[in-house]
Structure 1
Amino acid sequence: MTTKHTIPSDEDLTAFIDGELTDEEAARIEAGVKEDESVAERLEFLARANLPFEQAFAPLLSEAPREKLAAMLAAIPAQLSARSGPTPAFASRRRFLGALAASLVAGFAIDRAVIGIGARFSAKDENSEWRAVVADYISLYTAETFAGPAPSRDDQAAQLAGLDEKLGLSLSPEVVSLPGIDLKRALLLQYDGKPLAQIAYLDPETGPMALCIVRSDTGRKAPDLESRKGMSVIYWSNETHAFMLIGRIPVDRMKELGEDVSRRLSA
């Protein structure tokens, strides 16, 4: 648990939101919120976001070797629960995040996932909010997440075709390729009730990257840069869609890659 000099983890903050902490643990979180503005902002974000982590990572967990996963979880010190009585499997998001962390260490990839936001945002904030949620999600990826050979061109085309119908786009491996960076997987997710495409890459030097696309009616916007979760982001939009390219790659290189793929998507 946290002390005066320790920032609470997302796991502890989520447990606080769910009412799963003891009175002493909850008091420490409350003190941290009062003393540290970043803790207060993080707690507000987690309270506002309703991320279905269990559904999102279900394929990952189903592929994990149960004996190895059980051994890893057994090594995690047990924590006293503020609630009495039996708890259904994965009823606690804190317990689920522990299993998820073990699975990610084992290096398994996600095949399909869902990102959801319970709150509704105004149109002017829509693009900023979806980028924040995606950045949180992408920050979970490691190079091991996408270990293994890149799919063939035909497999890539088939995965991208599955996104076209939902997003009203015509994507091809050539259009979304990044020079010198392997395209690993095209995923269909969901944000705020709308389909979201996530095209995942693995840069040999800096690790995972993703090109994400969602329907948007906020209007055309030229490419711009920002930083989220320690990653570089270039984002832009047209009349029908919003786009973002995100990864732990230097800003200058990200700008070059984003502007290149933006031109191809607009052609």
Structure 2
Amino acid sequence: MSTKHTIPSDEELTAFIDGELTAEEAARIDAIVNEDESVAERLEFLARASLPFKQAFAPLLSQAPREKLETMLAAIPAQPSARPASTPAFASRRRFLGALAASLVAGIAIDRAVIGIGFSAKDENSEWRSVVADYISLYTPETLAGPVPTREVQAAQLRPLDEKLGLSLSPEAVSLPGIDFKRALMLQYDGKPLAQIAYLDPETGPMALCIVKSDAGRKAPDLESRKGLNVIYWSNETHAFMLIGRIPVDRIKELGEDVRRRLSA
């Protein structure tokens, strides 16, 4: 089956996990998950992740193009499922999640050994960047489809981030030249608020500027690579920052330096 135009967004999958869809919508999402392994893997990731996706995507879910999605899904021929009807689509792989969780510490250690550009195992802030990279690597251009929010909407989305992080973020301060601002979300990592500002580069796809409170001290900008994504990261006395995307290293370095200067002004 071709799922180019029918792959559910993270918002729909999150609503499916949280039991917020109607029975008909849930059945349709389940049919796609049964047929498309990539969608099943994304559903599994969202189901086991610790980030508060339900709260983060709530404003977006209310604006989701449900009628369009329902029309597209209704056109899909019904296919018999090899799984028992009473079994969730991602339950068949639950068996190895325990082993996956048990190997997480080892995986982090391997990451620290092999995936850095200027990356140090002593970097106490690296853990949150790894979590963000895992999440952003799932983004596609379709994840961030839709019109660019107006400046007023951007400012309204940034305001809760300011309140949680003790910052003063404006649309101008976080803008990336030639790259569309798409949305600002408040997530959580290790009990601390984590701001994510998502962008869509017309050439290389999704990008994100992420900010978390940190007392690790000032650190000059540095570069690394995670999950096939380039990252520039830095910190001041109170916060740690990272800009991540598939954009080339030279360009992300230029963008990161520019936004760092504006956020420091």
Say whether the 8 Å CA contact 1:124–1:218 is kept in structure 2.
no
1:202 corresponds to which of 200, 203, 209: 200
1:161 corresponds to which of 159, 163, 170: 159
SS of residue paired to 2:125 = helix
2:140 corresponds to which of 131, 135, 142: 142
C-alpha distance in 2 between matches for 1:224 and 1:137: 21
2:213 matched residue in structure 1: 215
Once the two structures are TM-superposed, the CA of residue 162 in structure 1 deviates from its matched residue by 1.4
| Structure 1 residues 53 and 75, CA gap change in structure 2 (3 angstroms) | farther
Are 1:193 and 2:191 counterparts? yes
Once the two structures are TM-superposed, the CA of residue 145 in structure 1 deviates from its matched residue by 1.3
Deviating 4+ runs (over 6 angstroms): 70-74
1:51 matched residue in structure 2: 50
Question: Aligned partner of 1:225: which letter?
Answer: L
What 5-or-longer segments of structure 2 have no aligned partner?
1-44, 95-103, 109-120
2:27 matched residue in structure 1: none
Are 1:224 and 2:228 counterparts? no
Say whether the 8 Å CA contact 2:195–2:210 is kept in structure 1.
yes
Deviation readout 1:183-223 (Å, 9 max, x if unpaired): 11011101111100000111111111000000011110000
Per the normalisation by structure 2, the TM-score is 0.62
Equivalences for residues 49-128 of structure 1 within 5 A:
50-51=49-50, 55=54, 59=58, 63=64, 65=69, 78-79=82-83, 92=91, 94=93, 125-128=123-126
Equivalences for residues 18-57 of structure 1 within 5 A:
50-51=49-50, 55=54
Say whether the 8 Å CA contact 2:214–2:239 is kept in structure 1.
yes
| Structure 1 residues 222 and 162, CA gap change in structure 2 (3 angstroms) | same
1:257 matched residue in structure 2: 255
1:17 matched residue in structure 2: none
C-alpha distance in 2 between matches for 1:134 and 1:222: 20
Count of aligned pairs: 191
C-alpha distance in 1 between matches for 2:186 and 2:159: 11
Deviation readout 1:59-102 (Å, 9 max, x if unpaired): 5778454575588796595357xxxx955x6884959xxxxxxx
| Structure 1 residues 152 and 227, CA gap change in structure 2 (3 angstroms) | same
Deviation readout 1:34-65 (Å, 9 max, x if unpaired): xxxxxxxxxxxx9xx85368747875778454
Identity among equivalent pairs (%):
72
Alpha-carbon RMSD across the aligned residues, in angstroms, is: 3.5
SS of residue paired to 1:141 = coil
C-alpha distance in 2 between matches for 1:217 and 1:72: 52
1:180 matched residue in structure 2: 178
C-alpha distance in 2 between matches for 1:211 and 1:50: 20
Question: Aligned partner of 2:219: which letter?
Answer: K
1:104 matched residue in structure 2: none
C-alpha distance in 2 between matches for 1:71 and 1:193: 43
Once the two structures are TM-superposed, the CA of residue 157 in structure 1 deviates from its matched residue by 0.7
2:19 matched residue in structure 1: none
Deviation readout 1:87-139 (Å, 9 max, x if unpaired): 5x6884959xxxxxxxxxxxxxxxxxxxxxx99x9x95541111011001001
What 5-or-longer segments of structure 1 have no aligned partner?
1-45, 96-117
SS of residue paired to 2:199 = strand
